[in-house]
Structures are given as C-alpha cells and as structure tokens.
C-alpha cells in the first residue's frame, strides 16, 4: 500500500488575504503574464509564518519572467505565477529555487487568481537575535572585574571600555562602526569580548581580519587563550591561512618515490626536501609556520597544496590532508582570524557567485571585524578592480621604421627582396601593437641581436620586436 501523501498547502495558511488580492491585481494588470514578487513574512497568532507584504519587482511574458534574486534577503519569499494554472515547477524554477534556498529565501508558485499555491521551498524563519548585555561586558573590564583579578599589573582604561561599548552597540543595532584608537588602548580585547559573546549567543561565526602576521600571532597565541581562561565561556578560535601555506602529502610522496625526477637547480634543495619529508611525519599542522626553516621556493612549489591539482575526496591522503583538516577545524570555529588578502579573496568569490551561505575560501560567516583597517584599501583594490590600457596605433613614422628594419633583416638573411605590401588594419599583432606587413620571413634573431622576427598569432603576419 503506497504511503499517504501529505495534503497540499492551503494558500490562506501561507499568504494573508490582503496580499493575495494584491498579487491577483498585479497579475491581472499585466494581462495574465508572469510576475516576479518578493514578499516578507511574519508569525501569526498561531506561530505560523505567513506572507504579510509583497512587491512586484519584475514582469515577463506568459512563459518566463526575470528572476531578480539579488534583491532578496534571508527570510523573504519569492512568489511568481504560472499562467494557465499548471503550478508544476519548470527546470528553470527548480534552478532558481535551489539558489534561493541556499540564501534562506522561500519560493512559491501561484495561479493568476492567487487561489492556489505550490510550495517549492518553504519560508525560512528569521533567527531571533539575542542582544549583547553591554553593561555586563563593560564590567568585565572594570578595575575589580575578572580580567583585573587575573592580571597583577592590570590597568583600567576608560577608552577601552568606551570602545567595547561602541562595538557591542554596533552588534546589537546591526550597523557599521568605524573606530580609531591609539596605541595602548587595548583594542583587541575591546572587540574580542563582544565578538565572542555574540558568536556564542547567536550562533554566528565572526571573522577578525588583520594585516600583519604579528597581530594574528598575538590574537591566536595570547589574547584569545587569555580570554578563554578568564572569560568563563567556552569558544573555539582558529587562524585560517591560505592554501599555499600547507604541505600536500600526495605531492611529497610522489616526489620522494622518484628521486631522479627532482632536477633541482640548487644542490641544497634536495637536502631541504628530505627535511620536509621527515618533518611531515611529525607535524600536526603541516604549514610553513611550523617548519624550523624557510624552504626555498623551488622546493616548496613542488610540494605545496594547490586548488588546481587537488583530488579532494579521491585523494588517498584526504583524511590526513593538512589543508582539509585545517578547513574542518575552521568550520567548527566561533571566531576566524584571517589576513586581509584571504578575506578579500573570499568576498570576491562570493560576490561573483552570489554565494553568501556556503563555504568559499572561508566557511560562511555573519560578522566581520577589520583590525589594522588602514591597510585594507590596497588589498581590496587589488581584488575588486580591473585595469585596462589603451592600445595606441603606431604613427606612420614608427610603421615606416619597422618596415625598414624588416627589409634590412631579410636582406641580411639572404631572403629575396620583395616589395612590402601596404599595412592592413586587420594585420595587427595584439602583443607588440605593431601593424605588421604580410610577409613570409622566418622567425630569426639578427646577428647583432638587435631584433627578433616573430609570427603574429592573430593575423599570421610577421612583426619585429626590439631586444
């Protein structure tokens, strides 16, 4: 006997009457074309999520409508109609619903009269945010607080307390805080205390991004362990490094099994590789910071972990992989300490793929603290900008000079002298920016090593390159 199917949802239980009337009116106004709505939900007296407001953001035809998903926020519901009354989701519907579901956005299909509904992805409840107890946090830094009792030479700093209050208020009010504080303020404790408490209260991962290795080491090896001992709260913090900092066990094993293929340019590189092999059996972290020496680039490049060569779960060393072990630890962490470059790499990938809820370079996170923020600008510029240059057409004088040099080289090479055809706008070498004559000279270097003749990959003509 087949299992009983669950009853189809009733639209009245999902959308309030006022919004249903609005949806039907918007669809009727288009002549029963497809309309794309973004709606918001709220809990009713029974605790059920119902759509209480909606806005039409796109209109299409009877077969399709633009999906403007970048306007959606967590907890929203996308609603669109199927003219004709068949509410079965199409392949495009399922694809959009998958993306929306990953963003925490529901997806409903309705008929033109807003009397029937097909729930592709249910609505997501917006998590209840628990505010930080600002006064309690400030008392942590009081002259008689727990941190003062743990440190003999503790110095109460009013500016540190003021900064802590500003950071905590920014968390509670969901806003951005820009804070400038001088040396000796105690900035790291002022932002770590509210960050850790927020992460634990609301189950939201926090990223702390810095510019220098020294500050990262201070946070991981001094400040965070100190707070773990004396804050009275368990939390997990991890320093996240770029992939190239980790040793690849598979590459090392392959290289050690074929000593004849090492072909290092430096004699001492072979000794370094053997030291790395011995170290790989002892280290738990497997990153360059755990090595007792700085490996030469020609050695480390042969054994470093790289995204283009990883086999992931198919790798025989996957369970013991240093990089993936580090990423598994990061996925369980409440606080991630990273550098600005790694954070910008993560953000650029997320922006390009519109992925804000799944792992990218970093695990998903909800809040960011930028320490040493004065150095963010050049790093962000390198990740979020494009550079273009204008290709300049050579002057008639420069083109004539190139023609004379080509003729001279051809005569020196013993090639028959032939008239050089006029330049064609299509015969432009994209690399050297020279309008090249369509000749048949072979590629060669002149006896005076003054120039090289090369074939243009774009137009198959010859071009001259000055040494």
CB within 8 A of 110, min separation 6: which ones?
A: 11, 23, 79, 80, 81, 82, 87, 116, 117, 118
CB within 8 A of 50, min separation 6: which ones?
A: 13, 14, 15, 16, 41, 42, 43, 44
- Of the pLDDT bands very low, low, confident and very high (cuts 50, 70, 90), residue 21 is very high
DSSP 219-272: IIIIIHHHHHHHSS----EEE---GGGBB-HHHHHHHHT-GGG---SSHHHHHH
- Quick one: average pLDDT of 92-110? 91
Q: Which residue has the higher pLDDT, 3 or 221?
A: 221
Decide if 51 contacts 41 (C-beta within 8 A): yes
User: pLDDT tens-digit profile of 230-289?
Assistant: 887 889 999 999 999 999 999 999 999 988 778 888 888 889 999 999 999 999 999 998
**Which segment of 201-205, 216-220, 388-392, 400-404 scores lowest on mean pLDDT?**
400-404
Domains of the chain, earliest start first: 11-121 (3.40.140.10), 396-466 (no CATH)
How far, in Å, CA of 366 to CA of 395, rounded?
Answer: 55
Record the tokens describing residue 219, joined without a space. Answer: 């946070």
- Overall pTM surpassing 0.75 (yes/no): no
Output the pLDDT for position 405: 62
Q: Which residue has the higher pLDDT, 456 or 212?
A: 212
Output the pLDDT for position 385: 84
Could you tell me which of 48, 43, 334, 102 has the C-alpha nearest to residue 202? 334
**Which segment of 17-21, 115-119, 412-416 scores lowest on mean pLDDT?**
412-416
Please measure the distance between the N-terminal and C-terminal CA atoms of the chain and give it in whole angstroms. 83
User: pLDDT tens-digit profile of 153-196?
Assistant: 888 999 999 999 999 999 999 999 999 988 888 999 999 999 99
- Quick one: average pLDDT of 383-392? 77
Output the pLDDT for position 391: 66
- What interhelical angle do 340-353 and 376-384 show, nearest 10? 30
Output the pLDDT for position 78: 96
How far, in Å, CA of 104 to CA of 136, rounded?
Answer: 33
Decide if 51 contacts 79 (C-beta within 8 A): yes
- Quick one: average pLDDT of 380-404? 74
Q: Within a 13 Å sphere around the CA of 233, how many CA atoms are in the beta-carbon half?
A: 20
**Which segment of 41-55, 191-205, 410-424, 429-443 scores lowest on mean pLDDT?**
429-443
Residue 357 has pLDDT above 90, yes or no: no
Q: Which segments of 265-362 does DSSP mark as H helices, in order?
A: 267-280, 297-303, 322-331, 340-353
- Of the pLDDT bands very low, low, confident and very high (cuts 50, 70, 90), residue 90 is very high
Decide if 165 contacts 134 (C-beta within 8 A): yes
Output the pLDDT for position 39: 96
Q: Which residue has the higher pLDDT, 81 or 413?
A: 81
- Quick one: average pLDDT of 423-437? 37
Integer CA distances (angstroms), 117 to 15, 21, 88, 209, in order: 9, 14, 10, 45
Average pLDDT over the chain reads 83
- Of the pLDDT bands very low, low, confident and very high (cuts 50, 70, 90), residue 411 is low
Record the tokens describing residue 28, joined without a space. Answer: 């009727």
Output the pLDDT for position 70: 84
């Amino acid at each position: 006997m087949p299992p009983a199917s669950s009853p189809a949802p009733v639209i009245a239980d999902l959308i309030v009457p006022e919004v249903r009337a609005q949806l039907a009116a918007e669809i009727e106004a288009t002549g029963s074309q497809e309309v794309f709505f973004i709606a918001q939900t709220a809990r009713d007296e029974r605790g059920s999520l119902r759509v209480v407001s909606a806005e039409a953001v796109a209109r299409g035809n009877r077969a399709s409508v633009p999906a403007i998903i970048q306007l959606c926020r967590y907890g929203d519901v996308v609603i669109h109609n199927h003219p004709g009354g068949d509410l079965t989701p199409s392949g495009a519907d399922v694809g959009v619903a998958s993306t929306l579901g990953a963003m925490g956005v529901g997806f409903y299909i309705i008929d033109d009269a807003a009397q029937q509904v097909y729930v592709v992805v249910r609505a997501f409840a917006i998590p209840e945010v628990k505010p930080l107890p600002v006064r309690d946090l400030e008392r942590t830094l009081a002259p008689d607080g727990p941190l003062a009792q743990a440190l003999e030479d503790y110095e109460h700093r009013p500016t540190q307390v003021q900064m802590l209050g500003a950071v905590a208020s920014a968390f509670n009010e969901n806003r951005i805080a820009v804070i400038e504080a001088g040396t000796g303020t105690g900035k790291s404790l002022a932002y770590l205390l509210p960050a850790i408490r927020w992460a634990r209260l609301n189950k939201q991962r926090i990223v702390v991004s810095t510019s220098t290795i020294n500050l990262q080491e201070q946070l991981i090896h001094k400040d965070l362990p100190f707070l773990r001992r004396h804050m009275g709260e368990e939390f997990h913090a991890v320093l996240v490094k770029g992939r190239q900092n980790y040793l690849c066990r598979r590459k090392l094993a392959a290289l050690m099994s074929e000593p004849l293929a090492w072909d290092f340019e430096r004699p001492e590189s072979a000794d370094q590789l053997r030291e790395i092999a011995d170290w790989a059996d002892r280290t738990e972290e497997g990153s360059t910071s755990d090595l007792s020496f700085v490996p030469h680039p020609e050695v480390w490049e042969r054994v470093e972990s790289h995204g283009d060569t990883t086999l992931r779960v198919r790798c025989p060393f996957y369970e013991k992989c240093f990089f993936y072990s580090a990423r598994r630890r990061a996925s369980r962490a409440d606080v991630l300490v990273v550098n600005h470059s790694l954070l910008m790499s993560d953000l650029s990938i997320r922006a390009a793929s519109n992925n804000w809820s799944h792992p990218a370079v970093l695990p998903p996170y909800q809040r960011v603290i930028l320490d040493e923020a004065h150095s963010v600008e050049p790093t962000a510029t390198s990740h979020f900008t494009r550079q273009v240059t204008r290709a300049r057409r050579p002057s008639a004088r420069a083109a004539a000079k190139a023609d004379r040099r080509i003729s001279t080289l051809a005569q020196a090479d013993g090639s028959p002298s032939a008239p050089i055809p006029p330049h064609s706008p299509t015969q432009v070498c994209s690399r050297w920016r020279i309008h090249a004559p369509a000749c048949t000279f072979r590629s060669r270097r002149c006896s005076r090593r003054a120039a090289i003749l090369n074939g243009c990959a774009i137009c198959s003509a010859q071009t001259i390159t000055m040494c």
